[in-house]
Amino acid sequence: MHKASEDRYENMPYRRCGRSGLLLPAISLGLWHNFGHVDLYDNFKQILFRAFDRGITHFDLANNYGPPPGSAEENFGKILREHMNHYRDEMIISTKAGYHMWPGPYGEWGSRKYLIASLDQSLKRMGLDYVDIFYSHRPDPNTPLEETMMALDHVVRQGKALYAGISSYSPDQTREAARILRELGTPCLIHQPRYSMFDRWVEDGLLDQIEKDGIGSIVFSPLAQGLLTNKYIKGIPENSRAAKSHGFLQKDQITDKVIDKVKALNQMAEKRGQSLAQMAIAWLLKDERVTSVLIGASSVAQLDQNIDSINNLNFEIFELEEIEKILTNEV
């Protein structure tokens, strides 16, 4: 059994999630990559141990995380069962359903059938009686929003989830989802959108909407799939996501203009005594509407580097102005 560090809560900031009673760590760990059956078990086990030792209490999963799909939940459940189950009440464990998971018409999107069946499968894979947060992973254009939200309300009332969340919903969809859940008596706890210095769509109404509705947020892809690191300053590394044609980051996204921005931001980060990745995470946390930033990690060293973002979260006004100039091509 893992014995956690006794000082694990001394340095990590915890933020209230919207108007709820729940606090989340400023940095949360996502198991989207590096925790599947194709990865090294001992490596991600050590990552989980280290994350918890450093105050990360929130572990974010989804039914399709792996690869293969479902394997991240299976591996997380095994580690929890064999090494960390005595800390279950100190953890926030979340999972989601919305993307393709199994064949046939009931294996994806937002129907009541799919969401409830998927959560039951996730609980079995992780060996849990409940998850803390269950998300609708993406809006379904063909299923009535009322049906999707009623499914979230249902699993909370069953005790299979403590809170309901949504991910990648537009501002209008978020407003309507929040209204429905509020009327059902299960307020929407949290929204999980994509957000980074290079991907700022949430600033066009979504952050304002979640603030109005008292919803927290946890943002994913804070480093723009690795662009907001020093990895690409000298070109595209062979083992990077951009070098793999099946990845989410494509070579044609890494233009000379983007590289110029990365270099300028990297220089700013160095002046702040941070890596570019650390500054990018800190920049997101400057907004109090961002409850937590969801990071991934392929090693304990990378995890530590990203968590160390919390050592310098404050920005001077001139720094924010300079960052804005860089991002809007004014320098």
Mean pLDDT, the chain, integer: 94
In the predicted structure, residue 331 carries a pLDDT above the cut 60: no
* Cα of 65 vs its chain's centroid, Å: 12
Three-class DSSP category at 293: strand
In the predicted structure, residue 8 carries a pLDDT above the cut 70: yes
Nearby residues of 249 by Cβ (< 8 Å), 6 or more positions away: 224, 225, 226, 227, 240, 241, 242
Q: How many CB atoms lie within 10 A of CB 65?
A: 25
Q: What is the predicted pLDDT for the residue at 252?
A: 61
Q: What is the DSSP letter of 21?
A: S
pTM: predicted TM-score of the whole model, two decimal places? 0.94
Place of tokens 């070098």: 243
Is residue 245 exposed (0-12), middle (13-18) or buried (19+ Cβ within 10 Å)? exposed
Q: What is the predicted pLDDT for the residue at 330?
A: 62
Domains, the chain, in order of start with CATH, read 14-232+280-313 (3.20.20.100)
pLDDT digits (tens, 9 = 90+) for 32-78: 999 999 999 999 999 999 999 999 999 999 999 999 999 999 999 99
Q: How many CA atoms lie within 13 A of 168 on its CB side?
A: 16
Q: What is the predicted pLDDT for the residue at 255?
A: 84
Angle between helices 300-307 and 276-285 (to 10 degrees): 50
What are residue 60's DSSP bridge partners? 30, 94
Question: Which of 199, 226, 208 lies closest to 302 in space, CA to CA?
Answer: 226
Confidence band (pLDDT; 50, 70, 90) for 231? Answer: confident
For residue 68, say if its preceding peptide bond is cis, omega within 30 degrees of 0. yes
Pairing of strands 131-136, 92-97: parallel
